Structure 1
Amino acid sequence: MAQDDDRTPEEEFQELLKQLFGGGAAGVDPEQLSKMAGMNIDPAMMQTVMRHLQDAFTSGGDEPISWEAARRQALHIANQDDRGVTAGQRTDLDQAYTLAGLWLSEATTISQLAEAPRAITRGGWVEATLPVWQELAAPVATSIADALTRALQEQTPEDMREMVQGAGKLMRTIGGSLFATQLGAVVGNLSKEVVSGGDVGIPLMPSGQAAVLPQNFAAFGEGLEVPDDQLALYIATRELAHARLFRHARWLRLHVISQVTDFARGVHVDTEALEELASRFDPSEPDELRSALESGALLPQRTDAQNAALARLENLLATIEGWVEVVTEDALTRLPSAGRIAEAVRRRRAVGGPAEQALNSLVGLELRPRRMREAAAMWRAVTDAVGTSARDALWDYPDLMPAAEDIDDPAGLVARLEARARGEAPTADEMDDALAQLLAEAEADGDPDAGNGRDDEEPPGDSRPV
């Protein structure tokens, strides 16, 4: 853009905006931007912002979130100290997977995986799981980007709104890019903590795939005084149990993801906090917005509806992990250190690592199954009462899966399953009683068709099947 010494700073800024929002972001010089309208912006700092702008304008779409930026950031962190997988580690894990598969088949009727388990690097875990992270974070990311745009537009004086007409897209892009960068940092740091594909509790790996990160489970075993081969066998067994379950109950993956995204869609940005931040936001110094994203300051206190959604999700995750724990325990009765490793895993899942805590701040989501011990006790009671086949059949259909009430009262679930095994009719529940009462009231009112399943009026002609 040619310089004109006769133009005012406002005119220069307006010309710059025309270039930006006319699709010419790639041709804007960051050093030139730093001189506009009296702004004192470090050209080097603007390079990152301008790169995000270039990505946004060249893509031609309205997507505010740069998921490629999230991927780059996650891989950058994951690969910093990624030592890869040696041939020896791969061989050891292959042996552990083979033995784990045999022992697991003695503990569950759910069949083996069609695809061989893998040993993967931290970077490999990022690549495999990022599509699910993107799906989970998208509702919150969009909410933040939209709210930032609205807040900045409302903060703009009336006489300047026409001049900065296209600035909303700029702010939306910056907000979305910063969120994507923060998500990438969370996923990248998680890749240093997780020991397997199912370690976080939700189905992050593609369906039917199992994977272990040798570099991470070696670090996890430090201080446990457990032989490496026993630790590898435990982790491999637990990972295979998790992957087998999600492959068998194909509906379960969508069920979990739907509950997580439903919760995320209910997360609304604290408008007052964002408006206060937007009133002093400087695109050249995004640290304040980044800190607000990191700390969770833009996410207000949960509503009652969100707390209820989170409770449902926690019960679901606890039900899944409780089954995995019981099956893993039964498969590893011949492993001397199984009890010690299991307790370490339970403590680790209950507390969560730094990256999990960062995820909670970023999207307001806790993935720790608070009721895992109670759920495991339920599955143990079911196993002892009706055996592995009847227990595992509860995963065949969504309406058979134990509910939160069954975790509270395993005896009730056991009684129903034992009655079913004896061929007895199921005991009527509250819904059955209510339906029976409605039918009885209808009969008392003189409805001749009450309870026979027919409509009040028959259609003309013979409606019986031929």
Structure 2
Amino acid sequence: MVSTVGGMADLPFGFSAGDDPDRDKRKNDNPDSGPGSGGDPFGSGFPGGEFDMSQLGQIFSKLGEMFSGAGTSMAGGTSAGPVNYDLARQLASSSIGFVAPIPEQTATAISDAVRLAETWLDGVTPLPAGTTRAVAWTPTDWIDNTMDTWKRLCDPVAQQISTVWAQALPEEAKAMAGPLLAMMSQMGGMAFGSQLGQALGTLSKEVLTSTDIGLPLGPKGIAALMPEAIEALAEGLEQPRSEIVTFLAAREAAHHRLFSHVPWLPGQLLNAVEAFARGTKIDMSGIEEFARGFNPASLTDPSEMEQLLNQGIFEPKATPEQTAALERLETTLALIEGWVQTVVSDALGDRIPGTPALSEMLRRRRATGGPAEQTFATLVGLELRPRKMREAADLWRKLTEAVGADTRDSVWQHPDLLPSAGDLDEPAAFIDRMIGGDTSDLDNAIADLERDLRRGDAGPDEPRD
């Protein structure tokens, strides 16, 4: 395992060392690819493993034929972009297997639980209901309804890794390498798609709601609970299932209140993850060394290709900018989770006795990196954990006691009004500012915005502030 740095996961998706149990089957199903076709698929040997540049054109032609057939059989078609999402969806659905329809009684119970939770939440927060519909999702439904968001999250890091080859090739090879790079991109897209499909198939059976990992993965306003995963969770708990469903419905509804009525929040969260992925730096020295000793003949064997990808040459390196971005993201996630815990506890505490125990169970699940967090780390290269969730919940609770729910939730009007990571460690000063009505952070943010607008309106010959 590669050690983590600054919250980075071991390796982004597409480069795990896990075995692919279907690889041999796929090779056997495609007699035109790989060494299983019999003899040298190039029709020209590479004695001693040496590579003759004069044969490059023939290699490109044969590689094109081989990977074209492999791509069609593995993905059922072509897929543009750095990740083959058609393949990901197929593998995810295959790993899920048969999905029984959700009984109407279960769907009705979930809808009723969300409706009840919304009524109780109305009494503890001025933010209005953010759900337009409550649904029960199967694992397949979850994949179908979150795939667009996964594309947005996964593309940046996959794009970075898929284009890094061109930077490492010797200058004399770049002009001739176009077809090879295109084929490497296709293979990378299939590798990424395979890893994504397997991970999402697992994750779809673990998540409890559409907002379970703190991000707005599903459609806006759709409160979704996962009956199969909730049933598995309930088997190990003492609380009645009806209380567990209502508790999770309240958490889902509370998340949607934030995501629907704090307009800057969903975009800021997803943009932060995207920026983190785009900022991933690859160790170019390892790639340059790999490129110098690279023999295109190795591409004739898909198993050797997989071995090359798993050598660790694409290990991401944390940068200071990423470390700072990670802290901001983790703080925002902690504030969201802490706020949700606070309002749900206020809404349900007197009605559902098991609320404190359920809240602590979920907090531990998030803080220790449950299946959802581990899978997200594999997919995006980012450990998505609200590391200060307990401190955030404590701050929101004390702030509620000091200034009430209306003033507490006015903090969500602008990102600059939110508590910082330092405020989570020392909440007293932040609470004192709120009691005193200090809006200097917002005033400064507005002043900065106005100054930027004036600079943008100034012509090329006009003086700027």
Normalising to structure 2: TM-score of the pair? 0.75
Provide closer, same or farther for how the CA distance between residues 107 and 284 of structure 1 changes in structure 2, counting only shifts above 3 A: farther
Q: Does the Cα contact within 8 Å between 1:314 and 1:368 map onto a contact in 2? A: yes
Percent identity over paired residues? 37
Shift of residue 426, structure 1, vs aligned partner: 5.8
**Residues of 2 paired with 1:15 and 1:288: CA distance?**
20
**What are the within-5 Å matches in structure 2 for residues 440-459 of structure 1?**
none
Q: Report what 2:346 is aligned to.
A: 330
**Residues of 2 paired with 1:427 and 1:14: CA distance?**
66
Provide closer, same or farther for how the CA distance between residues 274 and 183 of structure 1 changes in structure 2, counting only shifts above 3 A: farther
Shift of residue 379, structure 1, vs aligned partner: 0.5
**CA offset digits 1:317-374 (Å, max 9, x no partner):** 1011110110111111110211221111111111223453243244320111111001
Q: Does the Cα contact within 8 Å between 1:314 and 1:369 map onto a contact in 2? A: yes
Q: Report what 1:139 is aligned to.
A: 156
1:17 aligns with 2:33: no
Q: Report what 1:75 is aligned to.
A: 93
Shift of residue 388, structure 1, vs aligned partner: 0.8
| Matched residue type, 2:346 | D
**Residues of 2 paired with 1:69 and 1:14: CA distance?**
30
**CA offset digits 1:386-430 (Å, max 9, x no partner):** 11111111112333222223222221121122112xxxx66899x
What CA RMSD, in Å, does the superposition of the two structures yield over aligned residues?
3.5
**What are the within-5 Å matches in structure 2 for residues 42-191 of structure 1?**
48-51=70-73, 55-56=77-78, 63-77=81-95, 79-80=96-97, 82-151=99-168, 153-154=169-170, 165-191=178-204
Q: Does the Cα contact within 8 Å between 1:117 and 1:209 map onto a contact in 2? A: yes
**What are the within-5 Å matches in structure 2 for residues 282-361 of structure 1?**
282-287=298-303, 298-333=314-349, 334-354=351-371, 356-361=373-378
Provide closer, same or farther for how the CA distance between residues 76 and 417 of structure 1 changes in structure 2, counting only shifts above 3 A: same
**Residues of 1 paired with 2:379 and 2:230: CA distance?**
26
- Size of the aligned set, in residue pairs, is 395
Which stretches in structure 1 are left out of the alignment for 5+ residues?
A: 2-6, 31-45, 436-458, 460-466
Q: Does the Cα contact within 8 Å between 1:294 and 1:362 map onto a contact in 2? A: no
Shift of residue 15, structure 1, vs aligned partner: 5.0
**Greater relative CO (CA pairs within 8 A, separation 6+):** 2
Q: Does the Cα contact within 8 Å between 1:65 and 1:176 map onto a contact in 2? A: yes
Which stretches in structure 2 are left out of the alignment for 5+ residues?
A: 1-31, 33-41, 46-53, 449-461
**CA offset digits 1:35-71 (Å, max 9, x no partner):** xxxxxxxxxxx95445469844xx7x6x343222222
Normalising to structure 1: TM-score of the pair? 0.75
**Residues of 1 paired with 2:176 and 2:165: CA distance?**
19
**CA offset digits 1:283-307 (Å, max 9, x no partner):** 4544566578789762234222221
**Residues of 2 paired with 1:340 and 1:296: CA distance?**
42
2:226 to 213, 216, 222: 213
1:210 match: secondary structure: strand
Greater Cα radius of gyration, structure 1 or 2:
1
Q: Report what 2:401 is aligned to.
A: 384
| Matched residue type, 2:194 | T
Q: Report what 1:255 is aligned to.
A: 268
Q: Does the Cα contact within 8 Å between 2:272 and 2:329 map onto a contact in 1? A: yes
1:368 to 352, 369, 385: 385
Provide closer, same or farther for how the CA distance between residues 338 and 293 of structure 1 changes in structure 2, counting only shifts above 3 A: farther
Shift of residue 84, structure 1, vs aligned partner: 3.5
| Matched residue type, 2:422 | E
Shift of residue 251, structure 1, vs aligned partner: 1.1
Provide closer, same or farther for how the CA distance between residues 244 and 167 of structure 1 changes in structure 2, counting only shifts above 3 A: same
Provide closer, same or farther for how the CA distance between residues 273 and 161 of structure 1 changes in structure 2, counting only shifts above 3 A: closer
